[in-house]
Structure 1
């Protein structure tokens, strides 16, 4: 069992467990799922094995695919009845089943999304990255990178927007606090709170964006 456990662990780590056979060269028998479960003791390795089975199953089924959200998603998708694409239940991204374009593009066909042709000069180019289609444009590598970059820039904008909104609210709070303390100092028998007012002014200035 220790030998089998070490062998299967290596295959699982190398993502080759689905196609692995008996380590004896003259034997081509494949270990069953029940046998692997009985041999392995690490829950982490078993989880990796389950993921490998799921990945293999999705890749073998013509009506299944992986979510193509450029921000990253590990959800599998079921082809809809019309065959145009499918919406991810995890991130709501809609993927195309028939091409490498990152998002669903119905009613435009896959060929239209992969290549554009100028009506005036007949120049073929990719509309996503604007590179010439010939001689060796590879849609998957080039265009997916463009979409990923756009998604990253959008995420960056959202992060900065949240920070600016936080600073804006904090500045409004500092102004409100300063006004409240200023009204208190006008009341009789209240000690001098000038240092607190000055502190609020400094905080207000620091939160200005």
Structure 2
């Protein structure tokens, strides 16, 4: 493919997951900063004309259509690439597990950052610290569920997938790399291996230094 994608992103945010997948496919992309700040209100203002929820990432397809939701992007990019390198095909033995854990990541784990990173958007300031601590503990429990399901060396077993790309990025977030290394070593190893792929290394360096 030669037509350009446009990815609204902030370094180290969830946009890194999509940037890495585009790199795996060799799809050309133009990166557009979406606020570059930890202030969610500033990001929302920067994204207002692209994503109604004001969230990163948003992906503009070569034809001009806008996509949000990383799982939707993941599935659509695989279709466009006509490739099963990141998304097991319909007949693949790993297909059901892939879909299950992709949705688990985006519907259960990922949203915990939306309400846990800036808790005062959801609870009074007096209770924000305790609320955030409870969210992080719940997130740890969810990661342990995934650890129990991880096969190794990749999350699904012998085959690399987009789940591993998610892990490469999300194991950089809270509760932090040291926790993942100790408490969820299979997730950590899969994420490290994904981040070490030749196509993904520059993406990880740009996003996390």
TM range (shorter): under 0.3
- How does the TM-score come out when normalised to structure 2? 0.22
Question: Could you say which structure has the greater relative contact order, defined with CA pairs below 8 angstroms and 6 or more residues apart?
Answer: 2
Q: Which is higher, the Rg of structure 1 or of structure 2?
A: 1
